[in-house]
Amino acid sequence: MYHWNVDERLRIGDIATRSGVTRDAIRFYERSGLLEKPVRTRSQHRVYGAKALERIRLVRQLQNCGLTIGDIKEILFLQDAGDPGASKRLMEVLRRRLEFLEDRIASMETCRSHLIEMMREVAAARTRGFDALETLPAPLSAVAPFRFGRRKG
């Protein structure tokens, strides 16, 4: 792990490299309120400290666990507030996201089973390849379709 000087100032390219995210992602985090606005040099270059790098890494970890930007904003707000009762709300946010992910996993496992069965049918030449697609079940209404971008719920 890289150890940095707490007083070290990093430009956006440096912090992007060290955090493993793009410059655009960092700018998006700023616009979304996930990252404080950085100080700027006279030439208007963004300059970040070690705290920003830690925050970006936390945001990425939470995103990788399936949390939405809205979830992450709330978690960061709760963390920054330092309220002793905030952990109860944190548990609610995490529980809600876990339920959503479990529903998605169940849906994906069903899809996996259907794809395996269709592949078996095609491989066994019981059907022409595209005829097997007609055996797909209707979409599950209980689970919302996967969409890229902003998620609700």
Angle at 41 (CA atoms; ends 38, 43), nearest 5 degrees: 125
Ranges of each domain in the chain: 10-64, 87-135
Reported as a single tens digit per residue, the pLDDT across 25-71 is 999 999 999 998 888 888 888 899 888 999 999 999 999 999 999 99
3-class secondary structure, 48? strand
Contact 6, 49 (CB under 8 A): yes
From CA 64, how far away is CA 98, in angstroms rounded? 13
pLDDT of res. 123? 80
CA–CA gap between residue 113 and residue 88 (Å, rounded): 37
pTM metric for this prediction? 0.69
Kindly report the average pLDDT of the chain as a whole number. 83
Phi and psi, residue 46, nearest 5°:
-70, 140
- CATH code of domain 10-64: 1.10.1660.10
DSSP string, 130-149: GGGGGGPPPPPSSSPPP-SS
Task: Give yes or no for residue 116 having a pLDDT over 80.
Answer: yes
Mean pLDDT of 115-133: 76
Supply the DSSP symbol for 66: T
Say whether pLDDT at 1 is over 50: no
Q: Which residue has the higher pLDDT, 19 or 83?
A: 19
Question: In the structure, what pLDDT confidence band is assigned to residue 147 with cuts at 50, 70 and 90?
Answer: low
Q: What is the DSSP letter of 40?
A: E
